[in-house]
Amino acid sequence: MSGKKQPVSVLVVIYADSPAGLDVLLLERADHPGYWQSVTGSREGDEALLDTALREVREETGLDAEKFQLTDWQMQNAYEIYPHWRHRYPDGVTTNIEHVFGLQLPDRIAVSIEPREHLNYRWMPWQDAAEKVFSPSNRDAILHLARIRGKT
């Protein structure tokens, strides 16, 4: 699979409790402006999924997730890879397994996005974030976050 992505990935929902409620960090994709998402990324080599989550948070936001509360939510999503992204995977691969994590921050923190991957970032209330993300599994993860944080 050299040069190709593994069909195993992480989704990291970054959130903070604020005086107004529960806020979620979203990133706008550089390769598809208008597509907003949480931190995502494929596993590299045989790294542990926790290490994938730590690496992707660092690469996409500049945050050191080890300084905060990173939790494996023990949730997996199997989904069909969008056809316009299949060229990134080995031939014939059409399904990805996504492992969901949450990263709790003490407050909204400014992040440093990687301009090759993202155009912008935005903190927003969880309800708005759930509506803004393009991925159904990302939406479900944000709704799960609201449930476990007692917001629904």
The pLDDT tens digits for 65-123 are 999 999 999 999 999 998 988 999 999 999 999 999 999 999 999 999 989 999 999 99
Q: How many CA atoms lie within 13 A of 94 on its CB side?
A: 3
CATH architecture of structural domain 8-148? Alpha-Beta Complex (3.90)
Question: By C-alpha distance, which of 88, 109, 116 is closest to 9?
Answer: 88
What's this model's pTM, rounded to 2 decimal places? 0.94
* Rounded-to-integer distance, Cα 88 and Cα 43, Å: 13
**pLDDT at 82 (0 to 100):** 87
Q: For position 1, what pLDDT does the model report?
A: 46
pLDDT at 56 over 70: yes
pLDDT value for 152 = 79
Residues 6+ apart with CB under 8 A from 26: 36, 37, 38, 121, 122, 123, 124, 129, 132, 133
